[in-house]
Structure 1
Amino acid sequence: MTTADSHNGRRLTARGAKTRARIVAAAADLMYVKGVGTTTLDDVLAASGVSKSQLYHHFEGKDALVRAVVDHVGERVIERERRSLGHVSTIRGLRRWRDALVQNSALQHGAYGCALGSLATEVSDHDALARRALSQLFTAWQGLLAGVLRRMQDRGVLPPTVSTDQLATGLMAALQGGYLLAQTARDVTPMATSIDMALEHIENMSVG
């Protein structure tokens, strides 16, 4: 059995795909905790347990590995958000979504921030391909939020004149800003407050 390596066009065996996935997962964990800039390929080699020749068989260098990490983290985050938001159509459902994100961040006292946001901060100004991939991922995430708001609108909870896309942009900005404040404060309170204010704004627009 073979599978495609989307980055270099090679066909991978099941064993090769497993090795590549192990490299990417190890790099993603390291870059989330240490940051992209301070994570070296030697760090990834040590954490993944693969040889240097195996790493360079799959990735021509660190930039290619970072792009694979963006894809890996993005897939994980968007799948999580799809499960959380895919059927939400009430402000109560949005508050449950908020609670889950805040509680998860609280496990680390706000440290490390949003996995996608942290990557965007480090790579967007230096790698156009990674920046575009991250932009598409944030657009997909924001689209899931807009979908919730459209369902609320369809149910008559939000007035038809409201721009659900603009509300989703504001909610995403509150979320990402909250992640950053929690990261610097090592306290999730600012994150909870910023999302709560965005949700209160949406609730105040509700019909009736």
Structure 2
Amino acid sequence: MEAQAASTPRGKRTRDAIVDAAAALMYVDGVAGTSVDKVLAASGAGKSQMYHYFKNKEQLVEAVIDRYLEQILGNQPAIFTLASWADLETWTEQLLDVHHRAGGPIACPLGNLAGEVGDNPKLAPLVDQAYRTWESHLERGLTTLQDKGELAPNADPARLAQAAMTSVHGGLLLAHLRHDLTALEDALGIALTYLRGFKP
């Protein structure tokens, strides 16, 4: 059974408050360390409201995955309109900008979840799908470049996007672990250099 959508503005605010509270708690404490009672206390929602929208904690985690992806993509709007090599550079700059803010470099929330639920047969595919959605925007941009003749005709946009994002995710992990943005800066630079190698 899927999570219940809100049918009124007030219901949407309540549901959003629950998801936002769960997302913030799970980012710090993980899924296992985030109890329903903690989510209710942080959101101000009642237990009946919680279970109206989410029949169990697993459904709540699914909503948190969606929220994390929404937040991630919201911080890099250039990824939605990639149509030139300059756009790709703008995208990498936006990725870096997030981590220059107070509290950065921050951990990738999807990466945190992947490490915790990677063996969960239901949740792991959902995290993977979120990654694939993120990656698909880069793939679409590379396909646009190929259609314009700015990427080699024998290049595979899907494989290139996967390789570039693999570099990015490694950079995100080390930047957060070491509290040093150079790992992410280098990863993004390597990804761009690799992609430019497929210019015709």
Task: State the Cα RMSD in Å.
Answer: 2.2
Confirm or deny that 1:19 pairs with 2:14.
yes
| CA spacing shift, 1:11–1:91, aligned 2, 3 Å | closer
Q: Is the 8 A contact 2:160 2:195 kept in 1?
A: yes
Counterpart Cα distance in 2 of 1:201 and 1:71: 30
2:63 aligns to what?
A: 68
TM-score w.r.t. the length of structure 2 is 0.87
1:203 aligns to what?
A: 196
Measured after TM superposition, the shift of residue 13 of structure 1 is 4.2
SS of 2:60's partner is: helix
Counterpart Cα distance in 1 of 2:108 and 2:187: 15
Confirm or deny that 1:106 pairs with 2:100.
yes
CA deviations 1:144-192 (Å, max 9, x no partner) are: 1111111111222221011111110101101111111111111221011
SS of 2:83's partner is: coil
Measured after TM superposition, the shift of residue 53 of structure 1 is 3.0
Measured after TM superposition, the shift of residue 11 of structure 1 is 7.1
User: Structure 1: which 5+ runs fail to align?
Assistant: none
Measured after TM superposition, the shift of residue 93 of structure 1 is 1.3
| CA spacing shift, 1:60–1:6, aligned 2, 3 Å | closer
SS of 1:97's partner is: helix
CA deviations 1:46-83 (Å, max 9, x no partner) are: 210112333233323322211121122234434555x3
What one-letter code is carried by the residue in structure 1 that aligns with 2:157?
Answer: T
1:169 aligns to what?
A: 162
Instruction: Report how many aligned residue pairs link the two structures.
Output: 199
What one-letter code is carried by the residue in structure 2 that aligns with 1:150?
Answer: T
Aligned identity (percent) is 35
Counterpart Cα distance in 2 of 1:62 and 1:146: 33
Measured after TM superposition, the shift of residue 117 of structure 1 is 2.1
Confirm or deny that 1:154 pairs with 2:147.
yes
Q: Is the 8 A contact 2:23 2:68 kept in 1?
A: yes
SS of 1:158's partner is: coil
2:119 aligns to what?
A: 125
After superposition, where does 1:175-194 map in structure 2 within 5 Å? 175-194=168-187
TM-score w.r.t. the length of structure 1 is 0.84
SS of 1:86's partner is: helix
2:3 aligns to what?
A: 7
Counterpart Cα distance in 2 of 1:172 and 1:97: 12
User: Structure 2: which 5+ runs fail to align?
Assistant: none
Measured after TM superposition, the shift of residue 104 of structure 1 is 0.4
1:39 aligns to what?
A: 34
Counterpart Cα distance in 1 of 2:186 and 2:36: 38
Q: Is the 8 A contact 1:106 1:187 kept in 2?
A: no
SS of 2:91's partner is: helix
Counterpart Cα distance in 2 of 1:182 and 1:13: 41
Q: Is the 8 A contact 1:78 1:140 kept in 2?
A: no
